[in-house]
Structure 1
């Protein structure tokens, strides 16, 4: 790799930082809410100096953390997740433990059963400390024998954790249930036609929702650098509905229009037998545009129809096996989030940000709030030279409304060595930040974060 031919994931807002740093007593503009006492941690790929993983998704995981307490920003620090890959160990795919631990751990952060976990979908979670030091892999006492999704779901009523693992060899999909205390109590295999890039799923009060979509593993790409997945016009697209305590035979599959979703916002049961799922859906051509921009291989024979990465709604009638579907809005967005206290339950509000690779004069950098009950949106437009990261919702103390709380987002300057953590009032997004924490260095655009309250 040379500077004049650097791929997009090494350029501008995606460019990795070369080291780990720490800064104390950060400058704050505005006023931080006193009730924000905890840590905001965000994960993302950050290739080691001198390395090129071949795709944006394959850089070694780096956590960026900001400590807030007493209306102050006490520290910022960034740390790589020190998996064996950091020491040059390559996964041995004939050995299960080696394959599941030699990962990048670069996608998201979970706080569950007293542990902070760094996640990536092709391996085990890695425990880290509150100061971002790496502890080691977690396999739930040897019971987790598959990879773990980077998007597990916590039931807000019980604290139980639901997750899945994908594989390139059978079983292609396995469902797991972990108690609030951290005990893995059930694993069940789910039949799908082949290995796909299943990145997210959803739960409702009584069901699990599967997204079996046409971005598939291509064995011809295994010998090349990068991600061995691409769009397939042949695979088909469907959504599966399974009772939470169900098995493979209980899944009801419903065909949907071809498209791909990296991320679900939420799913809910509106009436008996009817489930509404909302997420960010890519048309085939927009997926190919994003995928190649990240370093992926283009489709072999893409049906070039439509454009957009939009908030999208599937309304599924489980009894009849039918679906009503369509875009909620025409903005190109990504990283949908909700008030996690509403996961799987009735909710009307979705937060999102402008899709980074689709920013243009018609799709300006913004943090967006959707009211899906009324199909309206509120948004804060950033200065065009800044890009927002995922906006994490943090409930206010004693919250009574769904939007009673704050949105936290790390924003990144497109070219300057600058970044900030912004705090917005979720009930008035268009008013802009109530506080801005000025970070001591640029933070590359990354993936998913989590607020861990003291």
Structure 2
């Protein structure tokens, strides 16, 4: 394992017993490149050929006030796998805010739990006053990695191969880009949304494969809302208006306190991919809050055309404080799946009748699910979710849901070992495209990072997606213990090659 270290960043962060600045959430500040990871168990499958990217919350400076786990600076960790070997590198996302704090040598912005006025400079996002870290989501569009912030900041670009920072996306609108834009690899389009405290409170847009903003329209809402994710089908984009949002009376005093609004239903906006506000179809459903969707698709039948949406329904969007957590009681509950009780759920929107029907797919508390990417926008059978440690935002295992039979496979990690969001990677086949399309939906792997608090180490781990119960089939050592975080993605090397060829042809035209 040959390690190349990058110049150190300036940091003022002090050791802390804060639950999300210690343990598995202890920040790492070094940036390194490793040419080949040492395999410590099994073998890296030869039929994997792509790149795993994981975003993490990784604060650099001592907080100005109270720290929330979503306040950290963005750091992207990458593993490139090909030919049975894997390399590793990690880089901070050099947002404008990150660079300004590096110049100042200290924190300049307060966090999510701090009162208005804590920040020393004007801030960003729907909340306003926050630091745009790009630390929430990570996807790849048109050959470029895009890191986004859950409260709507810029879309920060990186080279997915080298992790070179490429600055903010030129197409980003003034209201920013929320986390969780969606990419249709067949058309090369990226769909995104944003939200704010100002009418019309939400916008929706489409970016073409060439990297140009090609469609951008308002989605009028009754007031400020707090959506987190969106979904797409072949013809529709699905946005939401849910009853968990800021208290209007407190908001007038610049106090951002989210609460559930009794009597307000969940509403879904189905807009044609390049539709106008007047084309929106609104559907009502039972009140809840949803952080993440797993898939959406269209079906036709004798009862009418339907759009099907799957994701994690929260039974208790406003959880009770975890009193044993003391001063962190509210914060700990709001990031604990066992407190807000997220379970796999399905919504059906009948385009003929305008009715919504719902069904619970699992009684198990889970979140952060992945599907086989070849089944995006198609009827899919399998979902791979993570389980979490009660009372904590820490993934401690996996569940493979068979939505056709209801069967569930489970893998529990050892105590003190925590996972990352784990994309499903279809097995690369050397056979013809026709044969590949006939392969099983669960024929592939889960790729993840593990943080082992017992040994103070981290690893790349690979699981058989068709049999996760047997645990990792391969583990490779990372050069340092990484910090826990939120989202991850996978991109095939073949897709990056297709994107590069498109850019070459576009430049030559």
Same fold (TM over 0.5): yes
Distance 2:307 2:320 in 1: 29
The secondary structure found in structure 1 opposite 2:186 is coil
Matched, 1:62 2:62: no
In the alignment, what sits opposite 2:37? 26
Unaligned runs of 5+ in 2: 1-12, 102-107, 110-118, 430-435, 494-509
Give the distance between the partners of 2:252 and 2:80, measured in 1 at CA. Answer: 41
Q: Could you tell me how far apart the structure 2 residues matched to 1:81 and 1:39 are?
A: 18
TM-aligned CA distance change 1:23 to 1:94, over 3 Å: closer
Distance 1:157 1:285, change over 3 A: closer
1:447 Cα offset (Å): 1.0
User: What's 2:403 paired with?
Assistant: 372
Residue 296 of structure 2 contacts residue 377 of structure 2 at CA under 8 Å; is this kept in 1?
A: yes
Superposed CA deviations along residues 201-245 of structure 1, whole A, max 9, x for unmatched, are: 111122121221123134747989xx9351222454222222223
Cα distance, 1:357 vs structure 2 = 4.7
Aligned to 2:497: none
| Normalised TM-score (structure 2) | 0.77
After TM superposition, the structure 1 = structure 2 runs for residues 376-387 of structure 1, keeping only pairs within 5 Å, are: 376-387=407-418
Superposition CA RMSD, Å = 3.3
How far 1:294 sits from its partner (Å)? 7.6
Question: Equivalents in 2 of 1:100, 1:136: separation in Å?
Answer: 21
Gaps of 5+ in 1: 299-305
Displacement of 1:358 = 4.8
Equivalent positions of 1:5-84 (< 5 A) are 6-28=17-39, 29-51=41-63, 54-74=67-87, 76-84=88-96
Q: How far does residue 81 in structure 1 lie from its aligned partner after superposition?
A: 0.8
In the alignment, structure 1 residue 278 sits paired with structure 2 residue 306? no
1:166 aligned partner: 195
Residue 131 of structure 1 pairs with residue 180 of structure 2: no
CA drift of 1:174 comes to 0.7
Partners in 1 of 2:442 and 2:213 — Cα distance?
Answer: 33
State whether structure 2 residue 260 is matched by structure 1 residue 232: yes
Q: Which of the two has higher C-alpha Rg? A: 2
- Paired residue secondary structure (2:297): strand
Contact 2:226–2:244 at 8 Å: present in 1 too?
yes
- Equivalences for 1:45-444 in 2 at 5 Å? 45-51=57-63, 54-74=67-87, 76-86=88-98, 87-88=100-101, 103-121=132-150, 122-129=152-159, 130-140=161-171, 144-218=173-247, 220=250, 228-234=256-262, 235-271=264-300, 272-284=304-316, 287=319, 295=331, 308-358=341-391, 365-398=396-429, 399=436, 400-414=439-453, 416-444=455-483
Distance 1:3 1:222 in 2: 37
Q: Which stretch shows the higher mean deviation, 230-239 or 34-43?
A: 230-239
Normalised by the length of structure 1, the TM-score is 0.86
Take 1:294 and 1:136, find their aligned partners in 2: how far apart are those partners? 35
Q: 1:285 to 1:243 in 2, by over 3 A?
A: closer
Counterpart-to-counterpart distance in 1, 2:469 and 2:392: 19
